[in-house]
Amino acid sequence: MAYTSTDLTNVETAIRAIISGTRTVSLSMGDKTIQYTAVDLPALRSLRDEIKAEIGATAGTCSPRTYARQGGRGI
């Protein structure tokens, strides 16, 4: 399934709702509607990470570079 930025926004909103105390959250993506509870919070977070990775891959973005500090005398 190809995810969209709207899907990501919906998942993040559902995560915030559960964290703030909502007992059940309904999430629709495409033709599917799924209900999540606080017990499903790890699954929602995993879905969020999957969507972020897919959107990042299709947008052509890359992960940030990491640079090692150079040793030396600091001159």
How many Cα neighbours within 13 Å face the side chain of 29? 20
pLDDT value of residue 59: 62
Distance CA 1, CA 32 (A): 11
Indicate the pLDDT class of residue 56, thresholds 50, 70 and 90.
confident
Place of tokens 């559960």: 18
pLDDT surpassing 90 at residue 61? no
Instruction: Please state which CATH number belongs to domain 5-56.
Output: 3.30.1580.10
pLDDT value of residue 70: 65
Tens-digit pLDDT profile for residues 17-47: 999 988 889 888 888 888 888 899 999 999 9
